[in-house]
Amino acid sequence: MWLLNTQSEKLEEWNEHDEELQYATLSHTWLRRSEGEGQEVLFANMADLATARQKAGWNKLDFAMKRAASDELRYVWIDTCCIDKESSAELAEAINSMFRIYQKSKYCYVYLDGHMQDETQSAAAHSDIDVSSAPIVCSANISAIPHQEEHSSEHGILMDEHNPPLNSADLPYSSEPGSGSSSRGNESGLRSGVSNAIFFCVAPAPICNITALFQKCRWFTRGWTLQEMVAAPNVLFYDASGKYIGTLAELVEKVSIITGVHREMLSRRRPLSSFSIAQRMAWASTRQTTRVEDRAYSMLGIFDVNLPILYGEGVRAFQRLQEELLRVYNDHTIFVWGYASPGFDVGNRCDLLASSPDEFNHDQYTKITAVTGTSDQKQYEVLGRTIRFHLPVLHMSKKDRFQAGVRYTAVLDCCFEDNAMRRICMELECAVSEISFACAA
């Protein structure tokens, strides 16, 4: 793997299996065409640093290198410049190992696109509070206040019985780990004995709704950033100016609301493997990629599977992903797509597998989990366009047994998390042979 040296600003090749290797990663969105064609700093551009520094994409690299260096890390991995995309073999290897690269990093810096910065500045322009000059709290007779920790605010605002503390959830940014000077840099001044002092909020942005700002960021809508957020052990958010916002652990509630990813996953209280295929598909269903194939390839790490990378195959990539999931997992939630979609008709014939992740785009799918005990637990057999597996079938009569066109109800090994007795069933239609069925819904 290639890593960017934060001191020399040059690429170095390393063995990713080196246990002593420590590095940070950058999670970001690629520049849009409207922001300048060819402005990303790619692998080939790193041979000419003078030219690379002139590109708009250098700002992200510069931020990541400085941030990693301040965290005493010598290397940082960035997908734009650390993958030689001219080599199909290297590109395929990088895509299949992407999840692991983020998983093994010490820190993952999320560099949110400029839209959030624009919105923050706009909020400041229209706010009733001018954070550059307006006092937040006014208190007299400071010298009478004991020098105790409970009288200082995490945001540099004096707190006493007459001036209750602000709720940190109301502030868009929090103090960066290891940078305590930003939150309590004025404490000695606050307790100097000066009367009738005016205190100023040192938060780098006005009080506003950070959830609304996050919802305007492209980072939360892109396919590749999902696995980066889920894989990395320590995720830290920054805006496009490099200002620190908070850790994923601190922002878990807001991020969960925006992304639909379970809080237990974001807080790392549950392992990724404990979530069903349907749940993980639901997380990815709202995300988009520039290339059609990448909707599938960006989920490889989410499901811990590997695939040959074949750009040009289009939607077939998602079909291959599902077929690989059938080989690896015995999880019936892969079949529950579509039922929660508006206008879904159980009487219509349909394929057994979904045509795209969009079929899982509903809150219901985040609540469906796999269970064991109903089927004989045999793995599926994928034979061309046929999938063979065993299921208990209900509503069968001897008269109609295995006659072509007769429909039956099969019980799947999945249920809703809040009600294990609420099983999900699939309607089947008997085909010509006595052991083949076509999925009806």
Q: How does the average pLDDT of the chain come out, rounded?
A: 77
- Cα dist from 200 to 101, 287, 311, 382, whole Å: 42, 40, 55, 66
Check residue 114 and give its pLDDT. 60
Q: What is the DSSP letter of 113?
A: -
What would the DSSP string read from start to end of 270-292?
S-GGGS-HHHHHHHHHT-B-SST
Reported as a single tens digit per residue, the pLDDT across 99-145 is: 999 999 999 999 998 655 444 444 444 333 333 333 333 333 333 33
pLDDT over threshold 60, residue 354: yes
Q: Dihedral sign for Cα 441, 336, 313, 383, please.
A: negative
332 vs 318: CA distance, rounded Å: 17
Check residue 32 and give its pLDDT. 84
Check residue 166 and give its pLDDT. 35
Compute the C-alpha angle 351/352/357, nearest 5°.
85
- 3-class DSSP state for residue 235? strand
Compare 402 and 121 and report the one with higher pLDDT: 402
- pTM (2 decimals)? 0.76
Q: Dihedral sign for Cα 351, 355, 357, 361, please.
A: negative
- 3-class DSSP state for residue 5? strand
Determine the residue type at 16. Answer: E
Comparing 21-25, 94-98, 240-244, the range with the smallest average pLDDT is 240-244
Determine the residue type at 75. Answer: Y
Residues in the chain, total: 441
pLDDT over threshold 50, residue 221: yes
Tracing tokens 């320590």 back to the chain, one arrives at: 234
Reported as a single tens digit per residue, the pLDDT across 409-435 is: 888 888 898 888 888 888 877 776 544
